[in-house]
Structure 1
Amino acid sequence: MAEYQRIEYRIGPDGQIIETVMDGLGSGCLAATQAMEQALGEVEQRQFKPEYEAGAEVETTTLPAIASQSISPS
């Protein structure tokens, strides 16, 4: 059975996207967000929350502002 991970996306008024992974462990967070990050563009900043050291990784990634983006499922 696949592992469930919750990913939150917040889009600011300037178009900047902040992606936060919750309920993920280890490198699974990076794998879970890889396709979306590639579709949206270059990652400007990546931060690991204190939970990362405790084994419950929470990752926050900031993606650059975009004028408009259309994402369709593959």
Structure 2
Amino acid sequence: MAEYQKIEYRIGKDGKITETVIGASGASCTSTTSGIEDALGDVETQELLPEYYEGEENVTGTEQQSLKQQ
């Protein structure tokens, strides 16, 4: 059975787009949104949520993600 995923987008007054993937873990978070990110613009920063690291041990560091609209 396929995993259900939800992508939430917030567009700030300054035009900055923030996306959050809900219901996904591991690399499926980033692979789910890669096509959309390519269409929207360049990724300026990325923050991976704890769900991204589920199942991995000794992972450190964080990144933030926001898109710069083309």
TM-score by length of 2: 0.74
For 1:2 and 1:60, the matched residues in 2 are separated by 27
Aligned twin of 1:11: 11
Aligned twin of 1:63: 67
For 2:51 and 2:30, the matched residues in 1 are separated by 15
Name the SS for the 1:35 alignment partner. Answer: helix
Contact 2:6 2:22 in 1 (8 A): yes
> Percentage identity across aligned positions?
49
Gaps of 5+ in 2: 56-62
Q: What CA deviation, in whole Å up to 9, does each residue of 1:7-65 have, x standing for no partner?
A: 10000011110001111011101111011000001100011123434x18xx9621114
Gaps of 5+ in 1: 67-74
Aligned twin of 2:37: 37
Q: 1:38 to 1:18 in 2, by over 3 A?
A: same
For 1:13 and 1:2, the matched residues in 2 are separated by 35
Which residue type is aligned with residue 5 of structure 2?
Q
Name the SS for the 1:18 alignment partner. Answer: strand
Name the SS for the 2:42 alignment partner. Answer: coil
> For the aligned residues, what is the CA RMSD?
2.2
